[in-house]
Chain A
Amino acid sequence: MSASAKPIANTRSGTGIPTVRLITWWVIASEIVIFGGLLATYVMHRLGHPEWTEAASHTNTWAGAFNTFVLLTSSLCAVLAHQAADAHDGPKAAKMLRLTVLGGLIFLTVKGFEWTKDIHEGFVLSSGGFWSFYYTLAGLHGLHVLAGMIIMLIVAADAAKNQELQRVECIGLYWHFVDIVWIFLFPLLYIAR
């Protein structure tokens, strides 16, 4: 079967929802359970360990807040990309997607500087309860940001040629999910006292 020929199975829609959106929700659902499990575990531990507040006070709240702003802005770009795709303006959608990726890049760069400083101060993955969770949660999230950026660039490359425009909305959905996870992480890791 040639790579570009889609099976009829892909184009049918027994539920009325396009298949590409179904797969997106499935991916998001499975990620919700993964992050949900990790977050619930963290919250239970945090409640049982009041002494972690001291460790948590060393996180850089300003970096976290700036990153929140960056991610929210990038999500806005993803929304604009979706709008452009709906209007069949592939090149514009691609441009907006690439801006979203830029937001992700800024996010990861800020995180890089933030973690470099943390590590210099001696806070590493094995530094104890709070830091183990901090790096695991934020690290897993960061990996998802990176994966999202890569997929987004692939979708943008197709969109620039006005191809596979239905994928723009879906990668945008994924990006919003990654955003929402951060919205949970930020207060729990940076603000909670």
Chain B
Amino acid sequence: MLERYSTAASTYAHWIDYQFLLIAVLVGFWLIVAEAVMFWLIFKFRAKDGRPTQYITGEESHLKRWITIPHLLVILCDIVIIVPAIMVWYNIKQVLPPPDETVRVIGQQWAWSFQQAGADGILDTADDIRTVGELHVKVNTTYHFELMSRDVVHSFAVPAFRLKQDALPGRIITGWFRPNRVGTYDIQCTQMCGIGHALMAGRIIVETQQDHAAWLLQNSSPALAGQQVTPGTAAAGLTMAEMRP
């Protein structure tokens, strides 16, 4: 149901979409029933000359049943909803599958910048690729992202992945995603961060192994492959050590 409104491009997007559909069906059912009952009662008991009202306190057990039983069924539905909800949450936010690659995502007023391994495949070396506003990733590859902010609270969101995580200054928060559909998708900031909040757009480009390899070679300097970076030097650029308070 959600996929009708937003392309699903990651493995866990589908879990969230199923959960959305489950909730929609269950609450939709109860909403329709409750509204129907209410409108039916309004119609049936509209004021009629000569028909007095009934004196009902609500303690009558044959009437209370009509509340207690639906009430228990609602509780049952709540349980049917909460169990998979927790499972989805657990598998997205609590348990991170081992990464094939790791990228760093840095939010600031008002842009997203990224750091990923260059051709040497190792993060925090001299040939790392640093981009602003655009992140290139491979399809069918599990990524960890290390999210940080330079100033205020931002939020890194990729609707097509169903990914969202607030970025806090002074903290590094790790999450994961595994894209399963080639394409270019929006990155949004989803936490009020000042007047440039609507300008913090980015793109995440999911490409095939070959396309990504080609892009890597174009953007990474082979001469620097494997070289360690001294923290605090110009070559270090933005390192984790810099981000710690």
Q: Do chains A and B touch in the complex (CB under 8 A)?
A: no
